[in-house]
């Protein structure tokens, strides 16, 4: 298990040796990225004779398949074979949490875009042509699009979940103000740069190797084995890197890999299946839209005494990760606030949309949007700035979350007050009111957005990882972990860890592909936890190797092991450099037949959760922060710009400042996109209307805030975070929620009769209507 002494030694060393590395490190993948040399699934060297596949999917939202005529497609020259559920040797089932999702539709289709068959041909072009020749006859059934409709019809994925603390019913009797309302937050398309895809190749003895663009290699391996009815050891999954994941490849990279493997299984030939953008947009799930109702009660001094919320999650046609995402909505329902009396409930509503799935934040942002809406509405009616309510309720040390965890090392107030002072909030607010007094065609708005995000998979058993570290006989190092590099820079962080423990240049470290034969039974790279879990395992493995090498060095140098230190590619005795270099030490260890490989397993300590009571300590720690967003609305057009987003973020002790800043900036923009311009639209039949980049608008360089400032709040970090460098992948996405409320305030400045809306995204159309309503 994880060794605190070594951790401390390492921390000291990090501070001393690697100040320069810590400062200057950039994502080392950028080297191949900018040269166009980075390898993705589509870059795999395919074997001669490789087939190419295209998925035939449902052209209706819901219905019974009466007949499918594949004859014309089959007859097309170059078509090898068309696979359906009838070709599945094992289970036609890919559901991870609940077994409710067929790989291929059998008699019924449940969403527009649901896979029905796989067309395998000599080229992708031929396969596409064949797809157009398939004739399908579907008897249509009623389609459910919204969560509300699903609730009315009793259409659910599973049983509801509910968290509670105190007694919210009673507490409302003591409130001076009570407000109720409804909110809606729409879905969000992941738009990973690399679309979903996989390449499967037959090895000997019926073994299959799959190169997949997945966050979860083990999920792919396990599901392929289940569908093919073979042992997991016959399936090898390899991942070099992803062109983005954002949660969209935590679960939904699996079907395409399974389909390619199924075709390889039958044809004993390599098969490549890469979705084009249209197919990907149509067939894959997105962030869950939520429809929610809340009731919030406050005292005269603006303390939130009671909060109740019912979340309707639009889960889509199958469970996918919806139950876990629903759970995280409950965990984050009170965001950064202490509310002594809370009751929250979430219903995963089954609709005829593609199964919605993990997306950066994993249900947390949806939960946080609702309480921020409730606060904004309360502030509007009470006649105080929302920030007064926010500030009056910020979490404090030892406050209890609704799920029973006691808040420790809380930075909610610290990041808040730091933001207020370093960004000079008084001046900012003065400038804004001055601007608004002097301008009628443009109005500015400001918002505060505090965040608190729990780090760990909420499903405790998933919080583990392994690392396999080889030191080669020339002193170079190769590391395999469960971490999947998807642009977040986790490989660079792993290299930093090893380079620091061994005290050798980072160039001597290589991160291998993520491969199920080297690191098995892994959790997906998700939940912002990849660097923590895999980094801790890497740290442990490297530390064990150092202990072993010190024994060798002590023999050679005739010194005490405790007096030895690896530093700058040499062995030091009592801080004095010896003649023994790193490479000599490795050669000597080889001659002495010392193992230069180590495997380590890390499992997050302390965490637990009891679902029967809905109480426990599910998170290793929390990440905190505060963002101040300002916007300018063009009141003639309804268009807007974000002038600035000023953030105080709790990195702990960032081990890779450039990478972490990149994560904050990227997540912020993604959050702003979700809240303002990204609008997923389905028609009443369940067909995706926003099915191209012309109809689905994502933030571009012209829509990012003119200024983004991020400063770290100085904290100790947390022992449970890798090198005390806190998880950074998801939390900053929720700063983007501030954009929504800044816009509300700008509209109010123009139209005092504006009735605030809590219906995201706040597109320019909605802004325009708000400016001129009533």
Binding site for ligand LUZ (CB under 6 A): 247, 250, 321, 324, 328, 358, 362, 457-459, 526-527, 730
Residue closer to ligand LUZ, measured from CB, 189 or 730? 730
Does 358 help bind ligand MOS (rule: CB under 6 A)? yes
Q: Which does 738 bind (CB under 5 to 8 A by kind): ligand MOS, ligand LUZ, none?
A: none
Distance CA 489, CA 242 (A): 11
**CB distance 176 to 100 below 8 Å:** no
DSSP state of 599: E
- The phi, psi pair for 277, rounded to 5°, reads -60, -40
Residues 560-619 contacting ligand MOS, CB under 6 A: none
Residues 145-174 contacting ligand MOS, CB under 6 A: none
> Residue 469 contacts by C-beta under 8 Å, 6 or more apart in sequence?
477, 478, 479, 480, 498, 538, 541, 542, 545, 597, 598, 599, 600
Per-position x/- string for 474-513, each x denoting binding to ligand MOS as judged by CB under 6 A, each - no binding: ----------------------------------------
Which pair of structure tokens corresponds to residue 243?
A: 């062109």
Does 360 help bind ligand MOS (rule: CB under 6 A)? yes
Does 222 help bind ligand MOS (rule: CB under 6 A)? no
Helix (H) / strand (E) element for 738: namely: helix 737-750
Distance CA 346, CA 353 (A): 19
**How far is C-alpha 657 from the geometric centre of its chain's CA atoms?**
20
Q: Measured from the CB of residue 358, what is the shortest distance to ligand MOS in angstroms?
A: 4
Cis peptide before 41 (omega within 30 of 0): no
Of 566, 569, 532, the C-alpha closest to 547 is 566
Q: Which does 680 bind (CB under 5 to 8 A by kind): ligand LUZ, ligand MOS, none?
A: none
Residue closer to ligand LUZ, measured from CB, 217 or 445? 217
Q: Measured from the CB of residue 331, what is the shortest distance to ligand LUZ in angstroms?
A: 8
Segment contacting ligand MOS (CB under 6 A): 85-93, 352-360, 538-546, 750-758?
352-360
Segment contacting ligand MOS (CB under 6 A): 106-114, 353-361, 497-505, 744-752?
353-361
Q: Measured from the CB of residue 463, what is the shortest distance to ligand LUZ in angstroms?
A: 9
Distance CA 597, CA 471 (A): 6
Per-state percent for the chain, helix, strand, coil, to nearest 5: 35, 25, 40
Residue closer to ligand MOS, measured from CB, 284 or 418? 284
Q: Which does 359 bind (CB under 5 to 8 A by kind): ligand LUZ, ligand MOS, none?
A: ligand MOS
Sheet holding 640-649, edge to edge: 442-455, 621-634, 640-649, 707-712
Segment contacting ligand MOS (CB under 6 A): 357-365, 447-455, 468-476, 514-522?
357-365
- Strands 271-274 and 51-57, sheet pairing: parallel
Q: Measured from the CB of residue 159, what is the shortest distance to ligand MOS in angstroms?
A: 23
Distance CA 27, CA 290 (A): 35
Residue closer to ligand LUZ, measured from CB, 69 or 610? 610
Q: With 0-12 CB in 10 A as exposed, 13-18 as middle and 19+ as buried, what is 522?
A: buried
Q: Measured from the CB of residue 733, what is the shortest distance to ligand LUZ in angstroms?
A: 11
Residue closer to ligand LUZ, measured from CB, 362 or 582? 362
Q: Which residues of 33-45 are buried (b: 16+ CB within 10 A; e: fewer)?
A: eeeeebebbeebe
Q: Which does 458 bind (CB under 5 to 8 A by kind): ligand LUZ, ligand MOS, none?
A: ligand LUZ
Task: Please count the other Cβ atoms lying within 10 Å of the Cβ belonging to residue 161.
Answer: 18
Q: Which does 208 bind (CB under 5 to 8 A by kind): ligand LUZ, ligand MOS, none?
A: none
Distance CA 405, CA 615 (A): 7
Segment contacting ligand MOS (CB under 6 A): 187-195, 354-362, 700-708, 760-768?
354-362
Q: Measured from the CB of residue 731, what is the shortest distance to ligand MOS in angstroms?
A: 11
Residue closer to ligand MOS, measured from CB, 212 or 393? 212
Give strand pairing partners of 446. 630
Number of residues that bind ligand MOS (CB under 6 A): 10
Task: Please count the other Cβ atoms lying within 10 Å of the Cβ belonging to residue 427.
Answer: 9
> CA–CA distance from 542 to each of 11, 443, 486, 688 (Å)?
14, 56, 24, 49
- Strands 597-603 and 464-471, sheet pairing: antiparallel
Of 746, 711, 737, the C-alpha closest to 446 is 746
Does 215 help bind ligand MOS (rule: CB under 6 A)? yes
Residue 215 falls in which region: left (phi positive, over 0), alpha (psi -120 to 50) or beta:
alpha
Does 372 help bind ligand MOS (rule: CB under 6 A)? no
Residue number with the smallest Cβ distance to ligand MOS: 247
Q: Measured from the CB of residue 415, what is the shortest distance to ligand LUZ in angstroms?
A: 21
Distance CA 153, CA 139 (A): 21
Catalytic entry in 391, 730, 765, 773: 730
Residue 105 has, within 13 A of its CA and on its CB side, a CA count of 30
Distance CA 771, CA 438 (A): 18
Per-position x/- string for 241-260, each x denoting binding to ligand MOS as judged by CB under 6 A, each - no binding: ------x--x----------
Of 418, 513, 640, the C-alpha closest to 217 is 513
Residue closer to ligand MOS, measured from CB, 61 or 247? 247
The alpha helices in 133-246, defined as continuous H runs, are 147-152, 168-172, 217-228
Residue closer to ligand MOS, measured from CB, 358 or 501? 358
Does 362 help bind ligand MOS (rule: CB under 6 A)? yes
Residues 55-84 contacting ligand MOS, CB under 6 A: none
Q: Measured from the CB of residue 349, what is the shortest distance to ligand LUZ in angstroms?
A: 20
Known catalytic membership, residue 730: yes
Segment contacting ligand MOS (CB under 6 A): 217-225, 359-367, 408-416, 616-624?
359-367
Residue closer to ligand LUZ, measured from CB, 344 or 436? 344
Residues 520-539 contacting ligand MOS, CB under 6 A: 526-527
Distance CA 78, CA 100 (A): 35
Distance CA 346, CA 367 (A): 10
Place of tokens 């390619």: 260
Q: Measured from the CB of residue 361, what is the shortest distance to ligand MOS in angstroms?
A: 6
Q: Measured from the CB of residue 440, what is the shortest distance to ligand MOS in angstroms?
A: 43
Q: Measured from the CB of residue 730, what is the shortest distance to ligand LUZ in angstroms?
A: 6
Which pair of structure tokens corresponds to residue 412?
A: 């909610």
Q: Measured from the CB of residue 175, what is the shortest distance to ligand MOS in angstroms?
A: 35
Residue closer to ligand LUZ, measured from CB, 457 or 640? 457
Residues 693-752 contacting ligand MOS, CB under 6 A: 730
Give strand pairing partners of 309. 294, 344
Distance CA 543, CA 541 (A): 5
Q: Which does 215 bind (CB under 5 to 8 A by kind): ligand MOS, ligand LUZ, none?
A: ligand MOS
Residue closer to ligand LUZ, measured from CB, 215 or 390? 215
Residue closer to ligand MOS, measured from CB, 63 or 197? 197
Q: Where does this chain bind ligand MOS (CB under 6 A)?
A: 215, 247, 250, 358-360, 362, 526-527, 730
Active site amino acids = 730
């Amino acid at each position: 298990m994880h060794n605190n002494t070594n951790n401390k030694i390492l921390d000291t060393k990090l501070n001393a040796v690697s100040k320069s590395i810590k400062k200057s490190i950039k994502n080392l993948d950028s080297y191949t990225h900018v040269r166009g040399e980075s390898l993705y699934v589509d870059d795999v060297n395919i074997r001669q004779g490789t087939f190419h596949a295209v998925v035939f999917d449902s052209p209706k939202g819901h219905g019974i398949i009466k007949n499918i005529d594949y004859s014309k497609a089959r007859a097309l020259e170059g078509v090898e074979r068309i696979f359906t559920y009838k070709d599945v040797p094992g289970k036609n089932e890919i559901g991870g949490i609940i077994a409710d999702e067929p790989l291929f539709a059998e008699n019924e289709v449940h969403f527009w875009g649901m896979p029905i068959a796989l067309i395998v041909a000599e080229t992708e072009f031929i396969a596409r042509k064949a797809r157009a020749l398939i004739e399908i006859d579907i008897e249509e059934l009623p389609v459910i699009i919204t969560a509300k409709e699903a609730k009315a019809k009793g259409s659910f994925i599973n049983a509801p979940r509910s968290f509670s603390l105190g007694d919210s019913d009673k507490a409302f009797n003591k409130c001076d103000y009570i407000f109720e309302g409804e909110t809606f937050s729409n879905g969000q398309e992941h738009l990973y740069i690399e679309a979903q895809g996989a390449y499967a190749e037959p090895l000997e003895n019926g073994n299959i190797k799959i190169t997949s663009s997945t966050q979860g290699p083990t999920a792919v391996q396990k599901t392929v084995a289940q569908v093919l009815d073979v042992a997991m050891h016959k399936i090898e999954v390899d991942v070099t890197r992803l062109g983005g994941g954002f949660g969209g490849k935590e679960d939904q990279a699996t079907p395409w890999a399974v389909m390619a493997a199924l075709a390889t299984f039958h044809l004993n030939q390599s098969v490549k299946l890469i979705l084009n953008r249209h197919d990907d947009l149509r067939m894959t799930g997105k962030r869950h839209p939520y429809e929610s109702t809340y009731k919030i009660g406050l005292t005269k001094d603006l303390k939130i005494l009671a909060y109740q919320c019912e979340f309707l999650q639009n889960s889509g046609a199958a469970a996918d990760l919806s139950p876990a995402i629903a759970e995280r909505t409950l965990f984050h329902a009170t965001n950064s606030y202490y509310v002594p009396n809370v009751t929250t409930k979430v219903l995963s509503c089954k609709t005829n949309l593609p199964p919605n799935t993990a997306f950066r934040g994993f249900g947390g942002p949806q939960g946080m949007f609702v309480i921020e809406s409730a606060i904004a509405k309360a502030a509007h009616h009470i006649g105080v700035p929302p920030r007064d309510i926010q500030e009056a309720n910020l979490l404090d040390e030892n406050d209890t979350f609704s799920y029973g965890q006691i808040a420790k090392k809380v930075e909610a107030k610290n990041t808040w007050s730091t933001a207020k002072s370093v960004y000079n909030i008084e001046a900012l607010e003065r400038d804004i009111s001055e601007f608004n007094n002097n301008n009628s065609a443009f109005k500015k708005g400001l918002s505060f957005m505090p965040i608190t995000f729990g780090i760990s998979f909420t499903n405790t058993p998933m919080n583990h990882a392994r690392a396999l570290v080889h030191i080669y006989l020339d002193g170079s190092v190769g590391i395999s972990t469960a971490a999947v590099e998807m642009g977040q820079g986790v490989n660079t962080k792993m290299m930093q860890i090893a380079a620091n423990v061994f005290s050798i240049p980072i160039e001597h470290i290589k991160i291998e592909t993520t491969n199920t034969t080297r690191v098995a039974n892994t959790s997906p790279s998700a939940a912002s936890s990849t660097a923590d879990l895999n980094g801790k395992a890497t740290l442990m493995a490297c530390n064990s190797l150092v202990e072993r090498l010190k024994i060798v060095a002590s023999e050679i140098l005739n010194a005490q092991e405790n007096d030895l230190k690896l530093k700058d590619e040499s062995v030091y005795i009592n801080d004095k450099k010896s003649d023994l270099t790193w490479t000599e030490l490795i050669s000597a260890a080889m001659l002495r037949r010392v193992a230069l490989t180590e495997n380590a397993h890390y499992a997050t300590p302390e965490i637990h959760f009891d679902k029967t009571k809905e109480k426990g300590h599910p998170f290793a720690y929390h990440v905190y922060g505060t963002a101040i967003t300002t916007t300018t609305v063009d009141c003639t057009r309804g268009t807007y710009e974000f002038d600035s987003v000023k953030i105080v973020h709790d990195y702990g002790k960032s081990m890779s400042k450039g990478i972490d800043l990149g994560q904050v900036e990227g997540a912020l923009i993604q959050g702003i996109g979700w809240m303002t311009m990204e609008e997923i639209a389905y028609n009443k039949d369940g067909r995706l209307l926003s099915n191209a980049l012309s109809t689905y608008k994502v933030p571009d360089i012209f829509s990012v805030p003119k200024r983004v400032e991020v400063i770290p709040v100085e904290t100790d970090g947390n022992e449970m975070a890798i090198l005390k460098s806190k998880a950074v992948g998801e939390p900053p996405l929720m700063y983007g929620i501030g954009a929504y409320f800044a816009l509300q305030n700008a509209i109010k400045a123009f139209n005092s009769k504006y009735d605030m809306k809590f219906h995201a995204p706040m597109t320019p159309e909605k802004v325009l209507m708000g400016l001129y309503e009533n």
